[in-house]
């Protein structure tokens, strides 16, 4: 009786398949190898004219008004976040921070709030409310900053162009738009968070937030009403016009010193950059 033993061998793997697998393993992803080139201006002007601001404020859009998240990683692509002390809030879109021991003025990217301290124009509708909200959230606080290569480093007034993030990760620029304290503002070229900021404006407008409410400004960039300017006018009448005093020896009270620091921007009244002017007057 004969036994026939048959040897079976596995079919060879196709050469093409091996080559394909090897190539997949050794080829980096497109995201890792593709470098985008951005033309970065060395200087830009983030301060809109009244006409440009009005046009931007009332620009219509077909986007759907949906809730917009205001928190994100702050700033992006950072392992450890550096925090900076806010020295002063000038208005809703301009602040002073301490960087490496020096006070630097920042113009916030992508937003424009109604004016309150610009000598070239009148106090605008909802300007005081926007300024007060910024002071509420930022005065005496620490923030992280993010630059945007698409917007340049400085505007024409030599102010640093930055996004500002609160310690909890809230994008302050975005928050101001979403809650109706600021208009979305594109100066000349698209910026990193433009899509989110435009969506936030749609949301604020649809929900009659802040300056979009018919009972306030109805979305119009216009002069404030008499009631809205009363506080600013009273301070000016009581303490004098900006530019008339510049030293602590000229101040008669802490309130006056704070007016010239916070409203008029006399930074040297706060020699130690702690947010409190003229320590001898405001020590309590």
The single residue of 47, 105, 107, 162 carrying the catalytic annotation is 107
Contact 171, 71 (CB under 8 A): yes
107 is catalytic: yes
159 is catalytic: yes
Contact 278, 254 (CB under 8 A): yes
Residue 179 has phi, psi (to 5 degrees) of -90, 5
The single residue of 47, 105, 115, 162 carrying the catalytic annotation is 115
Distance between CA atoms of residues 237 and 239, nearest Å: 6
The single residue of 47, 105, 129, 159 carrying the catalytic annotation is 159
162 is catalytic: no
Catalytic residues: 107, 115, 159
């Amino acid at each position: 009786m004969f036994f026939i033993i048959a040897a079976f061998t596995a079919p060879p793997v196709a050469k093409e398949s091996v080559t394909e697998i090897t190539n997949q393993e050794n080829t980096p992803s497109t995201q890792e190898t593709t470098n985008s080139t951005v033309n970065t201006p060395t200087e830009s002007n983030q301060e809109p004219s009244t006409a440009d601001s009005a046009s931007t404020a009332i620009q219509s859009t077909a986007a759907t008004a949906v809730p917009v998240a205001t928190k994100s990683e702050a700033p992006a692509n950072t392992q450890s976040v550096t925090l900076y002390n806010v020295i002063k809030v000038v208005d809703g879109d301009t602040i002073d921070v301490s960087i490496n021991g020096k006070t630097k003025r920042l113009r916030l990217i992508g937003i424009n709030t109604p004016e309150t301290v610009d000598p070239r124009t009148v106090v605008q509708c909802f300007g005081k409310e926007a300024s007060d909200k910024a002071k509420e959230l930022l005065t005496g606080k620490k923030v992280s900053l993010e630059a945007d290569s698409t917007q340049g480093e400085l505007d024409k007034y030599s102010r640093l162009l930055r996004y500002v993030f609160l310690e909890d990760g809230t994008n302050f620029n975005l928050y101001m738009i979403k809650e109706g304290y600021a208009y979305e503002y594109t100066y000349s070229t698209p910026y990193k968070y433009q899509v989110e900021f435009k969506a936030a404006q749609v949301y604020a407008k649809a929900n009659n937030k802040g300056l979009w409410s018919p009972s306030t400004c109805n979305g119009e960039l216009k002069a404030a009403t008499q009631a809205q300017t009363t506080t600013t006018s009273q301070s000016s009448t009581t303490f004098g016009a900006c530019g008339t005093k510049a030293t602590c020896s000229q101040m008669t009270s802490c309130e006056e010193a704070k007016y010239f620091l916070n409203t008029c921007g006399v930074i040297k009244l706060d020699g130690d950059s702690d947010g409190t002017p003229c320590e001898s007057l405001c020590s309590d």
